[in-house]
Each structure stands twice: as structure tokens, then as C-alpha cells.
Structure 1
Amino acid sequence: MRIGLLTEGGYPYATGETGLWCERLVHGLGQHQFDLYTLAGTGTPRPLPPNARVARTAGRDGLSGPDTGPARTLLERTAFGDHRTARRAYGRRDRRRFTEAFHRLAVGLCAEDAPTSAGPDTASPAPDPTDAFAEGLYALAELARERGGLPGALRSDDAVRTLEAACRAPGARRGAADAGLPDHLAFADHLERTLRPLSLDWYEEDALGAADLCHAAAGGTTALPGLLAKRFFGTPLLVTEYGVQLRSHYLSTAADRSTPLRTLLAALHGRLAAETYRQAALLTPGNAHARRWQEKCGADRARIRTVHPGMAADRFAEVGEDEESGDPATLIWVGRVEPAKDLIALLHAFAEIRARQPDTRLRIVAVPTADPGAGAYLAHCKGLAAQLFPDEAAGAHAVGENPVCFEELGGPEAPTLEDAYASGAVVVLSSIVEGFPASLVEAMFCARATVSTDVGAVVEIIGGTGLVVPPRNPRALADACLALLRDPERRYRLGAAARARALELFTVEQNLAAFRGIYLELLSHAPVRHRPGDGVPFAHPAESHVPGSWAHKAVSAGTGAPDA
């Protein structure tokens, strides 16, 4: 089977959770051929196994590059004769096509959501704005595929005027109706960057047209090429979301943006998510939290299947099997140092723990991050620790006896994750925002009892094998930690149960087994498409190779169409 794997800013050009998952998928399913289509991919790709290749790469400017390297510049593409993404002007006929398509898309964006059913005085239900958005989106894609020039048109005066008219039309969202010219210009710029995948040269028979299945490693813009592959070639689309793109857009909305602009941006990403969920053959969220977001955006429950992300468990085996490891009076926190982790609440909770059990220690192990704001937050946390424990900070204890230790993963105190988890008895997660916390699963692999705040997928991961408290509640966090510190037997019991649960649900093996079955299931329901050079054994159902016209007659009988 040939899989078109769609990624954005990740594998094979970058690391991170999504990149690691893609790498394990490609290496673990060696019986399939993976063609990698990467948006915003730059640099040198990581080494690939024999069953994978970089088919297409688009740089951050949205221009498609050659099969085995980073994106070319606009000048280079023009020199190669590829004008599809050039910012050229349309003729009269193409301008009319663009205006009509963009008008449908803009109306779908700006209109309020249609009611679920018509009222008693309504002759027919109101048109669904999602349908108008989809019609405009695909019409723009067809125009870009045939004529090119879409990036320039999306930034044109015609586009801005059409957007302004849609915002002022009856039935428009209240926030959109208040948008001014600066909002329209800013939104047109964002819309052009979001829709750059429409102008790529990926939609050919020798590119995505050759894939048996498109697998998007995220929703939103990443899945957009998969939508077009389904539109142009009927290729099934599988969307995996371990972090919901729509939620990320909502959370990342800058405070300095106006309310009308935030309304338009939310509408754009909401409509794109809804269309992706509607067209996907199957959605595989990584947890119930992501699944609820998909359902709220209109995804059909029958086409959603939760597949937990797979994590390597072997590296933690030695720690997990050693019941005697770990200081029984030490709490461990591991993660990226950022405000969402709420280390402030953890330090206040530890001050209460320390007052009630003076021999307790807290190790904060920071995972290196490129976030420029991490250093300032870490300094703030260290300053708070010095205020909460003034005697220890002033040197009343011997060197190394400070109850709070700030360390960096990879340093002499915590060279590896295994060493960090092995040094303590209880692992703490104090976050106020989480998706799928990998550190919690790692602690479970190490057979550590855990205390976590009730955010994201924490309850789903823990499943009764650890203690869960409300976020932003230092007193509850302190009480739960003390309960485990004072009860060794309970710690061992919960830790053993946590390790068994993690090995059953969150390993790489279970993740690969799930996608191995999903690929075969989706292909079995997809229409058979013969291509020159096929001939891979069992690539298609055996019945498709039986000579004769019985298959056509069967289709005709099923649809009621007359036989040829």
C-alpha cells in the first residue's frame, strides 16, 4: 500500500512528539510504502528507511520544492517553468471565477452557523455556511490547479472588497460585521498563508494521485492536501490528531488583535476543521479530550476511533522492575518550564508539605526548550523558592541540602529521564493546561505513583492508578502528595498498577497494531484504482483482478443504474 503521509514542520525535518510518532510509524510498518509530503519543512531530512521517501516539500513560503530537498525560491520555480504559485494577475474570465469562488468561501466564513432544524414558520432549513465554505474552497483549488496565481489573488483588492461585503451582509456574525479595513487586510494575509497548500503541485497523478491513502499527522492546514486528494482522485483521508489544531488556534490568538479579527480567524479554522472532519474516512484522536473537540466540531462518532500515542517503554524497564529504587521522601517533577505547568502552585504546595513533613525534597527537572520565555519563568520560580525557603537558601543547611533542586535534563544530576524518575518515590504533575502529558506515561512505565491535576487527558491516562486533584489548588496537591509519601505500600501498589496499564495501552507496539489494522480496513472499503506499474501482490482485493464484467454489473445492480 502506498501511503501519502502529510506533515507540517515535523518529520523528517524536525523532532518533537509528532516527528517521533511519524518516525516510529514509518519504521514499524515496513510492509507499506510511505511518501512524505511536508509543509514548512526546511533543512536536511532525517535518515529514512527503504520504505519511505520525501515525495514533496513546501517551505514556509508555501512553494513546493523538489523531491529530495528543501523548497525552491519563487525565482527558481519560475526558471523551471512552474508558474502555478506565481503571483500573476488573472484575465477577465479567471477573475470572474475567482470572485465567485471567493464570495462563496467568504459568505461561509462570515455567516452565523445554520440552525439544526427549521422553525415552524420556515419553509426550508437555512443553507449551511459550512457547505458554502467548502464549495468556495474547492472552487479555488480547481482554479489554482488549472490556472495558478492564487496567492496574489487572495491578497488582491477584489478579495478584500468581497470579504468586506460578506462581513456586512445580512446574517453575518456580529463580530465580523464590526470589522474594519485593517481587520480585512490582516485577515486576507492570514487567509492567504492558510490556503497556500491549494497552490502546490502535489495534485498530480504521479504525486498524491498515486497514493492509496492520505494520512494527515494533524488537522487544519496539514490535512488540506488530503482534502484535495480526495476531491480530485477519491483518495481516502485518515486524520490523526494528538493535539487539536483548532484548540491551539483558539489558545494562541494574540491579545493585541481586535475582536472582529479574532472572530474571523476563529471562523476560518472552525470551518476548515469541520470540513476536514466531514470528509475524513476515519479520525484517530490520541485521547478522549481530543475526541470531544472533534465531536463538538461536527465529526461523526461512527468515524472516530481513539488511538493512544505509542511511547517507547523499553528504556524504562529497568527502573520499573526495581521496586526498591527511589528516595521515599523525594517528589519529582519533569517537563518544560512554562506558565501552563503552574510550578508556582507546586512550590506553594511543597511549602505546606515541608511544614508537615520536614525531610521531604522536591526535584524539578527541566526539559530543554527553545521557548525564549522559559528562562524568565524559571528565574521567577527560583525566586519564589528562595522566598518560601529562606533559611535553606541562605545556607542554614549543608551544600546540596536545599529542599528544592532545579536541574536540567542531560546535566550531571539528571543525565537521562530514567535517572530522573528513578531518584524519587512520587511524580507530580501540576499543570493547568495539558493535552496528552507524556511525562505522566513515562512515570507509569517506571512504576511510579503519581499525583496529577485534572486537566486534559490526565484522568484517561491514569485510569485509577494515581491520585488526581483540581488544578490551581496547592492545598489539595499537598494533601495528595503527603498521603502517598506516608503510605509506602499504597505507593508500590499504585505504581505497579500504573506500569501494567501503561504497558497495555501506551506502547509503540499497540499504536502500530492499531494503524496496521486501520490501513487495511480503509483500503478494503476504497474503490479499486488500477495504475501502470502496479502488480504488488495483495495490494488490491483479489476480486478486482477476476476477468469479466461481473464487477460492473454488481455496481449497476446496487445503484440502480442501467448496465452498459
Structure 2
Amino acid sequence: MRIGMVTEGGYPYVGGDAGLWCERLVRGLGQHEFDLYALSRSRRQEDAGWVPLPPQVSRVRTAPLWAAEDDGITYGRRARRRFAEHYGELVSALVTAGGGPGDHGEAVGQGRADGEADRFGSGLYGLAELARDEGGLVGALCSETAVRALERACRAPGASRVVREARVPDLLAAAGHLRQALSPLAVDWYEDDGLGAVDLCHAAAGGAAALSGLLARHFTGVPLLVTEYGAQLRAHHLATGADGTAPAVRALLAAFHGGVAAEAYRQAALVTHGNAHTRRWQERCGADRARLRTVHPGMEASGFAEAGESPEAADPGTLVWVGRVEPVKDLVSLLHAFARVRGQEPKARLRIVSTATGPDGAAYLGHCRALAAQLFPDEAEGPHAVGDNPVSFEEVGAPEAPTLAEAYASGAVIVLSSVVEGFPTGLVEAMFCGRATVSTDVGAVVEVIGGTGLVVPPRNPRALAEACVALLRDPERRARLGAAARARALELFTVEQNIAAFHGMYLEIVSHCPVRRVVLGETGEPLPFAAPAEAHVPGSWTGPPARVEARRATGSPAPCPTPMTTTEASG
């Protein structure tokens, strides 16, 4: 079959978010054909180029989110009136939903009211149809008409208190943010020679990617699959709360992103998530549980296979922490916990192995080194080299830890001490290596561990130390937990299970979607099952029909044209 994959700031860009799982999925499904539709986030991302693409990628089309271009079209009176009507309808739905950062979550949590969702969808699709018919949407979104429509909505009866307090600078800022957020409406992807030509549209993220998938479904009837490996709506809330955005602007943007999420969950054939935390956000936004699927991120296990097969190679007294050095990893609590461990197990060692450093990583790493010297003064004299101090600070690629697998393999117990965590990839890597783990109860940790490791509260050095000591003193328990962890990781978190899950969903969605082309027999009557699923598989599976007539039925989506041979950019 032919899959249209829509990404936002991700695959196929070299520096794209979540690009790795998309690439593995595309490469793993060589029997299908992929068209990539990529929204870029910055000029730097575009200049960095793409990753090498497999032959099953037949075309790539890109559009910038960061600098949507005005096509120079000026609306006449009728088009201006049409724009004002649809834009006004959209922002009217936002001002009644936008209760502000404090209470918007409650509004989203109960799902958008049917009337409010209808108004939001009507305004959204109306603007998309205007862009398709007339062009000029980017310029209209920057116009005085847009700002005045937003001001009228904010001052209208029924608007929430926080948006009624919006000042002129707030209105201008909100209009600018909405212009960027609505820019996917103006791209030319939604014709019969674009996303209308695919059998299924897979939005590889929420937000702008899901918005593009919604428009493909609206214009051409292509079934939509939405995948979210993180709660993107939550990320928007946190981002606008941390950058000093005015409360009125924050409320309007929260309402918009919540509206897009709710509409995507309502229209998608299936919605997938990577963990229970993301699923809860989806359910709070109105997603139907019957259409939710859990697909854990697929990770490459082969690099850790040797360590997993040789658990006896671990140093029985060594604790290992591996990850990106930043404050949310809470290495301070880990060091205090290790001081307690040393009080009970004097020969214990702690290796802190960094894979990278965050924006504040260098300063935080320096603070942790100073704390280690303070906690172990008698053993901190001299250079900080492996063997001179019970705590060593290392980097992956250095002689002490040439690879990630060797870093994990050196420890009897792998420790995760974070206070914030999404999907803990480092924990899964440790499980592939067959190592016993001690982790803090954050993010998807409990879901990933599933009873194969010890879990303690975050920011609790005493509990962390007690769990580490319990495993250091019990080698049989360590071996038992490590074997169980490896079996669980190989069953649930490999690339192969990820690819198989999506392949099954592709087939499920296509098998349930309405027939988009009508095949007529010699008598002129439609032939049932004349275009079976096998017709999409390369090869001579079906003979040519007697007569094929592609037509647009009343109220039905556009027909699926013959696969094109020309491409904008090939893999």
C-alpha cells in the first residue's frame, strides 16, 4: 500500500525529533511505498539536509513552519468576508475554551463540548477551503482583519476572564502565534496528486503533523493514523509557561492546540501512544479508548546482546548511572544515596557515565564533582581518575567506557535517579543487557520495568540507597531480575515489535476504510471486492478488471489515482 507519512521537525531531516523510529519503520516496511511530507522548524534544520532514504520512499515534499511565505494574493470583498467569518468562528471557539493555564486542563479533561468542537472544526476547515480556493491565507492571517476578529471574540459575552483582559500587544502576539500554527492550511499537499493519492495518512506526531493529516482526511477522505510518543499538548503548555508569555496569549494557544488534538482524536481511525502517561493525556482530550493503541518505541537490541548473554562479566560491587547530564537527572540525590551505600558496603563503587550534556550540563557536572569530593574527602585527594575515588565521572567513547553496552555491562546494578522522565530509553538498554535496575518512580518507569526491577520515590536518597544495598548483597536476586528484565525488553521494546505493530494497524485501517474507487463489470454493475488489498502489493496478484471507472460519488472522497512516477524529491 501507499503510506503518506507527515512529520513535524522530524524525519527525514538529519536533526529531526523522533527521526530514528520513523526511519526504522520506513526501512522495515519495504513491501510498502512511502511518501514523506515534512514540516521543518528552522532554516538550520533544512540546511543540515536529510538522512539517506531507502528506495521505498518515492517522494518527499517539505514546507517551513518557521517562515510561511505570503503568496501576494490580496482578497476581494467576498473573500475577505469569507475569511472574517471562518476566522471569527475559530477564535470564538478558542475564547470560550481558553480558561487560562490554571483551568484549561479541566476543560480539556472533560473533552470539548460538541457545539464547541463543531465550531472549531467548522472554522478550521473553512479557512483550509478558502486557502485551497483562493490562496492568500498567510497574508490574511497577518492582516488587521484577523486582529480585529480576535479582539471582538475576546471582548464578546461568554469569553473567559483571562482572555477578556488581553491588551493590544497580547492580541498582536496571539495573532502572530496563530498565523504560524495555521500555516499548514496553506500548503499544497491536499490535492489528488498529493496526500489524496495515498491509501493511508500517518501523522508521526500531534500538533502541525496531525493538522495536516486532518486536512488530508477532510479533502480526500484518506484514513488517518496519529502517533504520539510524547504528550505534545503538555509540551506546548510547559513551553508557553516557561517563556514569559502573557496569560491571555497562553490561554488562547492552549485552547488552539487542545482543539487540534481533540479534533485529531475524533477523526483518526486509530491513535497510538508509547506509554500510559501519553494515553491519559489523549483520553483527557476526548480520545475514544476503543481507538487507542499502545506501541512502545522500538529500540535496537543487537548492540546489547553480548552483555545480556554474559551477566557474570559485571563487577559485583559497582553501581552504574548512564545518561544525559542535566539537573532533572538528579545526580545530587544519587551521590547522597551512594554515601549511604558506602556506609554499609565499603567496597562499593559508582560510575557516572554521560552520553551528552544538556544546556546546563557543564555547570551541573562541575557541581556534582565538587559534591563527590565533599562527600568522600579522604578518597578524593589527587586526580579524579578511575580507581582513585569511589565515584568516577566518565563519558561514552572514553577508554573506560568505549560503548554504551560496555558501560552497562560493567555494573552489577544500573541506577536511574531522575525526577522527570518520559520513556526511559536508558532503562530499556540496561534491560537488554540483562542488568538488575533501581529506578525512581517517574514517567513511564513503572510501565517499562513491569516488576523486573526495584522502584523507589524520586528525591529520596535513603530509599534509593536501601534498594541498591539490597541488590548488591543478593547476587541471586540480581541475576533473576536481570534475566526477567532482558526477556521483557526483548518481547516489548524491540524495533521488530514496533514495525510489526504498525504494519498490523496499517492493514486494519485500510481494510475498514470505505472503497475509494468503483470497479464496474461488463453489465455496468459494481463488482464487490474487485479491488482487493492484494492489488496494492507489487506483483501480479490480480488480473485487469473488465472496466475501471474512477468517479467521485456524492458525498464521498476523491478517487485514488494511479500511483505517480514523478516525484518532487526521491529517496
The answer for the alignment partner of 1:292 in structure 2 is 280
Contact (CA 8 Å) 1:316, 1:445: kept in 2 or not? Answer: yes
The residue type equivalent to 1:506 in the other structure is: F
Contact (CA 8 Å) 2:314, 2:409: kept in 1 or not? Answer: yes
Query: Structure 1's 131 and 340: CA in aligned 2 closer, same or farther, altered over 3 A?
Result: farther
The answer for the alignment partner of 2:326 in structure 1 is 338
The answer for the alignment partner of 1:7 in structure 2 is 7
Query: Structure 1's 477 and 104: CA in aligned 2 closer, same or farther, altered over 3 A?
Result: same
Dislocated runs of 4+, deviation >6 Å: 396-399, 542-549
**Structure 1 position 417 matched with structure 2 position 404:** yes
Q: How many correspondences in the alignment? A: 520
The answer for the alignment partner of 1:312 in structure 2 is 300
The answer for the alignment partner of 1:272 in structure 2 is 260
Q: How far apart, CA to CA, are the structure 1 residues paired with 2:545 and 2:384?
A: 83
Query: Structure 1's 255 and 35: CA in aligned 2 closer, same or farther, altered over 3 A?
Result: closer
**Structure 1 position 407 matched with structure 2 position 404:** no
Contact (CA 8 Å) 1:112, 1:171: kept in 2 or not? Answer: no
Give how far 1:389 is off: 2.4
**Structure 1 position 28 matched with structure 2 position 33:** no
Give how far 1:364 is off: 1.4
Range 159-168 or range 440-449, more displaced: 159-168
The answer for the alignment partner of 2:526 in structure 1 is none
Match of 1:421, SS state, is helix
Range 341-350 or range 238-247, more displaced: 341-350
Query: Structure 1's 190 and 361: CA in aligned 2 closer, same or farther, altered over 3 A?
Result: same
TM alignment of 1:527-538, pairs within 5 A: 527-530=514-517, 537-538=534-535
Query: Structure 1's 545 and 53: CA in aligned 2 closer, same or farther, altered over 3 A?
Result: closer
Match of 2:400, SS state, is coil
Match of 1:30, SS state, is coil
Give how far 1:61 is off: 3.4
Q: How far apart, CA to CA, are the structure 1 residues paired with 2:195 and 2:473?
A: 59
Give how far 1:98 is off: 0.8
Contact (CA 8 Å) 2:9, 2:17: kept in 1 or not? Answer: no
TM alignment of 1:208-357, pairs within 5 A: 208-253=195-240, 254-357=242-345
Range 382-391 or range 238-247, more displaced: 382-391
Give how far 1:504 is off: 0.9
Q: How far apart, CA to CA, are the structure 2 residues paired with 1:398 and 1:111?
A: 61
User: 1:200-238: per-residue Cα shift (whole Å, max 9, x none)?
Assistant: 111121111111101011111121111000000000110
Give how far 1:342 is off: 1.6
**Structure 1 position 526 matched with structure 2 position 513:** yes
Contact (CA 8 Å) 1:113, 1:129: kept in 2 or not? Answer: no
Contact (CA 8 Å) 1:13, 1:44: kept in 2 or not? Answer: yes
Match of 1:368, SS state, is strand
Superposition RMSD in Å: 2.8
The residue type equivalent to 1:25 in the other structure is: L
Match of 2:227, SS state, is strand
Range 374-383 or range 159-168, more displaced: 374-383
Match of 2:311, SS state, is coil
* Structure 2 unaligned blocks of 5 or more: 100-111, 520-530, 555-571
Contact (CA 8 Å) 2:311, 2:435: kept in 1 or not? Answer: no
Which one of the candidate residues 98, 104, 109 is aligned to 2:94?
109
The answer for the alignment partner of 1:67 in structure 2 is none
Which one of the candidate residues 136, 161, 174 is aligned to 1:187?
174
Query: Structure 1's 395 and 126: CA in aligned 2 closer, same or farther, altered over 3 A?
Result: closer
Match of 1:538, SS state, is helix
Query: Structure 1's 535 and 48: CA in aligned 2 closer, same or farther, altered over 3 A?
Result: farther
Identity score, percent: 65
The answer for the alignment partner of 1:160 in structure 2 is 147
Q: How far apart, CA to CA, are the structure 2 residues paired with 1:531 and 1:9?
A: 37
Give how far 1:398 is off: 7.9
Q: How far apart, CA to CA, are the structure 2 residues paired with 1:484 and 1:215?
A: 44
Which one of the candidate residues 55, 64, 80 is aligned to 2:60?
55
Give how far 1:15 is off: 5.0
Contact (CA 8 Å) 2:65, 2:184: kept in 1 or not? Answer: no
**Structure 1 position 480 matched with structure 2 position 480:** no
The residue type equivalent to 2:471 in the other structure is: L
Match of 1:394, SS state, is coil
Contact (CA 8 Å) 1:130, 1:275: kept in 2 or not? Answer: yes
Match of 1:31, SS state, is coil
Q: How far apart, CA to CA, are the structure 1 residues paired with 2:135 and 2:547?
A: 42
The residue type equivalent to 2:20 in the other structure is: L
The answer for the alignment partner of 1:447 in structure 2 is 434
Contact (CA 8 Å) 2:385, 2:392: kept in 1 or not? Answer: no
Match of 1:395, SS state, is coil
TM alignment of 1:449-528, pairs within 5 A: 449-528=436-515
Which one of the candidate residues 379, 387, 400 is aligned to 1:392?
379
Q: How far apart, CA to CA, are the structure 2 residues paired with 1:265 and 1:379?
A: 38
Query: Structure 1's 211 and 544: CA in aligned 2 closer, same or farther, altered over 3 A?
Result: farther
Contact (CA 8 Å) 1:55, 1:207: kept in 2 or not? Answer: no
Q: How far apart, CA to CA, are the structure 1 residues paired with 2:173 and 2:394?
A: 42
User: 1:530-556: per-residue Cα shift (whole Å, max 9, x none)?
Assistant: 499x9995229x99987699xx9xx99
Query: Structure 1's 474 and 531: CA in aligned 2 closer, same or farther, altered over 3 A?
Result: farther
The residue type equivalent to 1:279 in the other structure is: Q
Q: How far apart, CA to CA, are the structure 1 residues paired with 2:330 and 2:115?
A: 42
Range 168-177 or range 398-407, more displaced: 398-407
Contact (CA 8 Å) 1:62, 1:197: kept in 2 or not? Answer: no
Q: How far apart, CA to CA, are the structure 2 residues paired with 1:50 and 1:161?
A: 50
Give how far 1:13 is off: 1.1
Q: How far apart, CA to CA, are the structure 1 residues paired with 2:378 and 2:136?
A: 68
Q: TM-score, normalised by structure 2?
A: 0.86
Q: TM-score, normalised by structure 1?
A: 0.87
Query: Structure 1's 215 and 256: CA in aligned 2 closer, same or farther, altered over 3 A?
Result: same
The residue type equivalent to 1:498 in the other structure is: A
RCO comparison, higher one (Cα < 8 Å, 6+): 2
The residue type equivalent to 1:325 in the other structure is: A
Give how far 1:407 is off: 1.6
The answer for the alignment partner of 1:71 in structure 2 is none
Q: How far apart, CA to CA, are the structure 2 residues paired with 1:267 and 1:447?
A: 45
